[in-house]
Structure 1
Amino acid sequence: MSAMPWHAELWERLQARRRRDAMPHALLLCGPAGLGKRDFMRRFARGLLCQQAVDGEACGRCRSCLLLDAGTHPDLVTLSFGLRKDGVQRSDIVVDQIRELSSRLAMASQFGGWQIATIDPADAMNTAAANALLKTLEEPSQNTLLLLVADAPWRMPQTIRSRCQRIEFQVPAREEALAWLQGEGVKDPVAALDAAGGNPGLARAWAEEGALARRQEVRKDLAALAAGRGETMEVVRRWLDNEPAQRLWFAAQAAADEARGRAGANNGPLASHLDAEALDDWYRAANHARDALRGPLRGDLLLLELLSRWR
C-alpha cells in the first residue's frame, strides 16, 4: 500500500511504540478529509495483523493478509453506518452497533494476536453510542486496539477523545504538496491546491472530478449577483443540484479573496458591494451554511438567505 509522504513521521512514531510494546488501547486518527487517514488506518491494521510483517508493513502473502484481502479476517471488526429497518442507510452510528462491537471484543483473538476494531466515521456516533463506547475504552481487553477515524473530532464527546491517543493529520507544506500532486499527474497542481485550501488529497480528488470548473462557475455566479444580473433562485437551484457543500466552500474562498483584494485596491475581483466587515460576516455565514446542510434545515432556504445577502 503506497503511503503519502506526510504520513512518514506519524508512521514512525507508531512503529516506535509498537517496537517498545507500548501501544495504546485506542487511537484517534483525525484531521481534514483528503489527507489519507483511512489509508493510514488500513495500512497500520494490516501490519499489526500480518504474521510476517517487516517494520510494520504487511507482507501481503501470509494467511492473515489473504484473509484481510478477502474481508474475512476474524480479528478485524469494521464499524460504520448501518441500515435502518426500512433498509435505508443511517446517517449516524447507534448504540446497538457499539454494544455488538463490545460483545465481539470481549472474546479472545482467534489468531492469538491483536484484535482490532475500526470505527469510521467516529464523529458520527450519537450520544448513546458514544456513552456505550466509554466502558470499552475504560476497560479494554488485552491485545485489543480501537482505531477511530474522524474528520471533525470536535463533534465527539471530550470523554471519548481524552481516552484515545490522538494522531493528528495536518496539511503538509506547500512545496511537499505540489511535488506530490505533480507526481500524481494532476494538471495545473497550483490551481488545484489553491482550490482545496492547501489540502493535496482534496486537490487531487477535485481535479479528477472537475471541481476547478465548478469553482470558476461559483465565482461567475457571485460576480453576476453583485452586479445585479441573474436570478438568485436560479443560482440556488443550480448549486443545490450539484455539490452544494463544495460550492459553499468555493463561495467562502471567493469572499476571502474579495476581502484581500479590497485591502489593496478600491474594489475586489468580484466587485461586491459589501464592505470589509460584511465580507467577513458573509465568509463565516457561508461556512456555517455548509455545516448546516448536514442538518434538518432546508438547503434552498439556507442558500437563498446567503446569496440574497451577497446580492
Structure 2
Amino acid sequence: MADSHHVHLCRYSDEEGYTCEQECNDSGWCYWHDSNIIKDSPADKENLQEYARNGGMLRGISLKHADLAGIDLVNHHHKNGFDFSHADFYRADLTCAHLFNINLEYASLMKADLSEANLHNANIKHCNLLGIKWQNAKIKNIEIGNELIQEILAQKAQDDYDLVLALDLFEQSEEIYRDLRKHAEREGIFKLSGRFIQKELTMRRYQMKKPSFARLMSKVVDLFCGYGEEPLKVVNFSIVLILFCAILYFFTGINFEGQQHYFDASLPFTTNLNHFFSCMYYSVVTFTTLGYGDITPIGISRLIAATEAFTGSFTIALFVVVFVKKMTR
C-alpha cells in the first residue's frame, strides 16, 4: 500500500479570514510568515518579488530587519497594488524600494529605512510609522487616514484610565506627525504638511493637563483658525459673530437718526425687518471698526459693541496672518 504524504500548511490566518496555503516548516509557519527567520540573504529580495508576482499570501508576512534595498514591489499592469496588510517591516532596509500603490494598512514600518523609496499612492492607514527614515522618499497621494494607530490605542487607553500609556502614545503620534510634516515640506507638498502640523499640534494638546489654560488656549486656536492652516475658519467665525451681535442689537436697541431701532412685537413685520437690517449694518461696521457714526449703541448695546469691535480687530488681523502664511508657501 502506498504511503500518503500529508502536507502541513502555514498556520497564518487573520481576522478577515485570510489564510496562507504555503507549506510550513517545523515552527508551523511558512518561510515568509516565520518571524524567527531574518530575510537578509542575497536571494531573499528576488524570491520575495517572485513570491508576490506568483500570488503568494503577503498579508502578515514577517520582514523584520530584512535587506530589501531597491526591491520592486509594484504590481505592474494591475489597478491594485500588492496587499502587505499586517506585514512587519520593523527596521527593514527599504532604501530606493519601489512601493507604488502598495497596501500597508495595519502593517508596521517602525524604524524602517525608506530613504529614496517610491511610496506614491501607497495606503498606510493605521500603519505603525514611528521612527521611519523618510529622506527623499516620494509620498505624493499617500493615504494615511484620519487617525494613526497610536491615536486609536491612546484613546482606548484613556477610556481604560491608563493615562500613562495614553500619554506615551500621544507623544508617539506627535513625533510621527512631526516627521511627516517636515518631510512633506521638504518635498514641497504643502497642503499635506499643513494637515500634518494640525495633527501634530493636536497631539501635543492631548498631552497637556486637563483642565489647564494652555490646553484651553490651544483648543481656541484650533477652533479659530486650525492652527493657522484654515483661513476659512476665521471667515466663518466672523460671519457667525456679526450675525450673533446683530441679533443682540436687535433686542437691546441702537440709535439711528434720533430713533431707537429694536424688536417690538407691536410693530409691523416689515418695520421689524428694517430694524434688523439696521442692526446687521451696525454689526458689520462695528466688527470692521469703521465707525461711521451714523448709528450709536444705547444701554447694554454699548458693551456688546465694545466687545465686538475688540474681537473684530483681532479676528481681521488673525485672518491676514493666516491668509498670508497660506499664500506665501
Higher helix fraction (1 or 2): 1
Same fold (TM over 0.5): no
- Which bin holds the TM-score, normalised by the shorter protein? under 0.3
Q: Which structure is higher in RCO with an 8 Å CA cutoff and minimum separation 6?
A: 1
Q: By percentage of residues, which structure has more strand? A: 1
Instruction: Report the TM-score, using the length of structure 1 for normalisation.
Output: 0.25
Indicate the structure (1 or 2) with the bigger Cα radius of gyration.
Answer: 2
Q: TM-score, structure 2 length as denominator?
A: 0.24
